[in-house]
Every structure is written in C-alpha cells, then in structure tokens.
Amino acid sequence: MHELLPLGRVSALLQCYAQGKLKPSQVVQAIHAQIINDEDHVWIHKLPLDSLLRYAHEVEAQEMASLPLYGIPFAIKDNIDLAGTPTTAACPAYSYIPEQSATVVQKLMNAGAIPIGKTNMDQFATGLNGTRSPYGVCRNAFNPDYIAGGSSSGSAVAVAKGLVCFSLGTDTAGSGRVPAAFNNLVGYKPTRGWLSMRGVVPACRSLDCISVFTFTAEDAAQLLAVAAGYDNNDIYSRQREAQKIDFGLMPHFRFGVPRVEQRQFFGNDDSERLFNAHITHLQELGGEAIDIDFSPFLEAARLLYEGPWVGERFAAIREFFKRNNEEVISPVREIITSAIRFSAADAYDGLYRLRTIKRQADRIWSDVDCLVTPTAGTIYTIQAMLQDPISLNTHLGYYTNFMNLLDYAAVAVPAGFQRDGLPFGVTLAVPAHQDNALLHFAARIQQAYSLPLGATGIQDTAQLDDKLFSELIRSDQVRLAVCGAHLSGLPLNGELTARKGKLLTCTKTSPDYRLYALSEETPSRPGMVHVNENEHGYAIDVEVWELPVGELGSFVAGIPKPLGIGTITLANGEMVHGFLCEQYAVTNAKDISQLGSWREYLNQSNG
C-alpha cells in the first residue's frame, strides 16, 4: 500500500495538512494508485486522476481555515448524485448522469471535502448483506470470505481499509449500520430529515436517511455540523429540534436492553458473549441496565418487509421497473414484485398499526436514556448468503429494521472482535432530534474500548473532546453548577430532582474562586466568589446539573440573598450558570477555600 495510506480520522489528516506534511493533491494521487486494482469490488465508478487533481488544486488554492474539511477524501454510495458522474443504484440499465450533486454532497465539497468515487451497493438499496450487485460482491475488510454488509457495502469497506476518511451511505432498514458493524466502523443514521435526501435514489422515500461511515463518533459529529440543515427542496426535510439532555456527559445513565429471551444471535456464541461483555462495560462506565420488552420493536421491524412499505420500493422505480424488470437482479426483483399484492387499504392499515406500535415502543423513554442492542446478531460467509439470500438477510435486520419506522436516531459503534478476528458492533438508539447527545455517548464508549480504526491497524490516541459536543448541542436544558447544599445527598438536592434535573458530571471550577462558610445561614451554606487576577484563588468542587429551561425560573426565585446565579468557568474552560455569592456577605465568613469542597468542610465539621 502507498506510504500515505491507510488514512485515519479526519482530524489527523487535517493536522498533517496544517503542519505542511501533506497536500491534498498528494493524498488523492496515493488513493488513485491504490484503488486501480479493486479486488474487493468496493467501487462502481472511480474518478479519473485528472478530476481528483482538479478538486485537490481547487482546495489548495483556498485558505485552510475557511474549509473545515480541507482536502478530506470521501466516498459516495452509488445511489447518491455527484454532478457529472453516473448514478446507477447498482443497476447499469438505470444509469443516469446528474447535472447537480446531492445537497449533502455539495455541502461537503463546499467545506473542502474531495470525492473519490461512487461505491458498490445492494441493487436499489434492497438488502443488508452486500451480495446483490452486478458489479461484484463487495468483500469484508477483515476476511474476504465474509459479507461486508449492505446495502452500503462499498462505502463501509472504503473507509475500513483507509482509502478515504469517511463515506456516505443510505439507511432504510440498517444499510448504514450493519456494514459498519461488520467492518469495525462507526455508522451513524441521523434523525430522519436532518440530512437532505435531495439527489438520492430512494428505496422507501418516507423512511430513507443518508448515513455516514467514519472511524470515530467525533468525526461523525463534525460531519453532521457541516452537512445537516433544512432543505426546502426536500419534502421530508425537518427543522432540528432542541436536545433534551447530553447524557454523553452523565456519570450515571440508564440504558435499555432487550430481555434475554428476546435476544437473537442465530447460533453465534461469540456475538452473545461480546454483547454480554458490552453490557458489563456500560455498567462499569456508570450505566444501569434496564430490561425492556422488545416485542413492539420486532413487530415494527416485520412491517418493513411484510407490510405495505414494500410498495414504496416499487413506487421509487415504478416506471423503470415496468419497462426493465428483467434488468433487476434476483432476489431484488422478487422483493419489489411482491409489492403488487398490497392495496391502498393495506397501506392505511399498516400506518394505523405502526402508530399503535410506536406508542407502545416509546414508553421505554420514560425509563431509559438510550436503547442498546447488537447491530447484527451474527455475520455470514458470502457463500452462505448466496445460498439462502432471503432468510439470512432477514436475520441481519432483526435489530435494525424498526429504527426509521419508529423515527429514532441510531449509531453503530465497534465493540470488540470475535475469536476468528471478525468485528462485532452494538447500536445505540435515542428518540428523534437527540443526535449530538447520542454521538457524544458513542464517543465516550469508543474511548473506553480504544479499538484500532477500521481494518487499518491504526491505534487512535486522541482524547475525547467534550467541549466539541457541548458546542454542537442545541439544548432546551440549562446547565447549572452547584457547590453546596444542592449537591447530591445534601438537604436541598431535592429542589433539583423535583424539577427533573439530571446530574451530568462532577468536576472543578477554574482555579480563580474562593469558598466561604456563611455561618449565619440556615441550613449552613457556602458562598463562592470569583477573585481577580491579583488574588490567590482555588479550584472548587462542583456538580454540573441540567434543568429544563422552563424550570429554571422557579428555582432561581427560591434562592435567598446573598446567593444568586451567575456565570462560572469550569476547569475545562466551559462556562455555565452557577451559584455565586455577593462580596459583602463573605467579609466576616470563614474562608474554607483550601479545602476545595463544601463536602470536605462538612466532613471536618461533623468529625
């Protein structure tokens, strides 16, 4: 492999550019040389070198600071338009050359990203295995005898092998998550409508999402910041709503898992072992595992291929299919043909049934912050998949098919390796519009596992950037730092929990505060004041809580003088609301700053 390859995470390549170690033109030349020989059937269309160099030189002519994705190479699933390049949806007879790129592709290119080519896929995005393509079976990045997962097979393998830093796929039933799990990647399926679908050949238009394959959840969050946004030209585009809570920061969180009897691993003991180990891992990170009834999710999953949504696949390519159904390969042709048996009344019955199921499934969110499942219960060889393409494909969708029907956001995260060296992944899911908190949580899990990136062998040593996620998350919550009687377990903590407050983290302030015991207060309270640069200060222990914005007013109204709410700086530089004391009140108060903690003062006083 060329010495510049494999590539790793986005930030690593940007750092090389910033240090003058590489140029985008050098990177695209190395990629082009590597992908000429495509034994794994990753690509349907590779851009010629002159096109790649043209893109690279256009990027190099601009200021790096103005392009958040300066020179970052990426791959595009071949049902997503790139201007001037054929879109086939893995069906040669369907091929057309778009005049405009898909909205998301154009946004990424405007940010400096360089497209390398169009990737292989299950034809018309119908399948989760990656074997349903006339362009050849895309092979797993770890073992070529095994499936890569689908339908976004080539997009996943291109990243896993380090040929690009990220790629675009699509996800209707798991196509952006199953290939991620099988290739040791992050596969992010956003809330429906957060990424525009203009310029994408649909599978089920009302359900489809553009998905993103990356090495890390942090990369996915950075790409989301660039590519997301309301698109008036996409009838399914949605305005993003506020995040409810950043549970990625919480020291204690609740995660739902299917009951043991509802888990399916299809005879794969390794997958079962790894999933059980992952539950233990989350508990060690502060999580509480809560068994949930998985039956509503499974019922929703069955609707996707046993209900009238199959008719939507037919609607997506109806005119082409009527004229050219012989050009559609088996079993894709049979699946789409089966749509004929559904009537308009069946479609409405399906919609009504889905509303009922969703109401049942949504009940879990009052008990858990996140749903955790295997991404797939097992993985199959290419030979086994070709011999039994329908039932084995159904097995692959056991934990994925329901996600878009129920309007959840999800991310597949690497979670270890089987004894035979094949990757295993889990999926984290949350209600719609909680994507950045979801990605923050995924990043936290990734850092704890510290697995190599894809199949590159690169060990990621970067530290988790909590501040990045704090800046990305638009929240209808307010963060509040407490240092005294409102701390967990102390007399006034109930004023927070009664207002649906949740503890995010235990940390310290920046080292420019002093803490006093206000002796005249009942119950006894501390007073924290900010000192100027000429005074000696201390870092004071605080808890950071989140409260719904609507609860803040009544909380603040109950705070007596000399205390009030101001803005304090945490040790990591983040600024949050917090308790501060008026200066006059500490003149005769006891200075306990050296203890650095109200709890420590109480312990000594009670000792």
Alpha-carbon separation of residue 308 from 209, 319, 348, 354 (angstroms): 19, 19, 9, 11
Catalytic residue among 25, 175, 237, 470: 175
Is 500 annotated as catalytic? no
Is 175 annotated as catalytic? yes
- CA–CA distance, 401 with 304 (Å, rounded to integer): 7
Strand, coil or helix: what is 53? helix
Catalytic residue among 46, 77, 118, 161: 77
Residues 6+ positions from 356 with CB-CB distance below 8 Å? none
Instruction: Give Cα 464 to chain centroid, integer Å.
Output: 15
Q: Which residue has the tokens 């995470």?
A: 9
Catalytic residue among 25, 51, 133, 151: 151
Strand, coil or helix: what is 268? coil
Do 97 and 309 touch, CB atoms closer than 8 A?
no
Do 511 and 539 touch, CB atoms closer than 8 A?
yes
- CA–CA distance, 283 with 252 (Å, rounded to integer): 9
Scanning 2-70, the segments in alpha helix (DSSP H) are: 10-18, 24-35, 49-60
- CA–CA distance, 504 with 466 (Å, rounded to integer): 12
- Write out the E strands in 432-589: 452-453, 458-459, 477-482, 502-508, 513-518, 525-530, 541-548, 563-569, 575-581
Is 77 annotated as catalytic? yes
- Which amino acids are annotated catalytic? 77, 151, 175
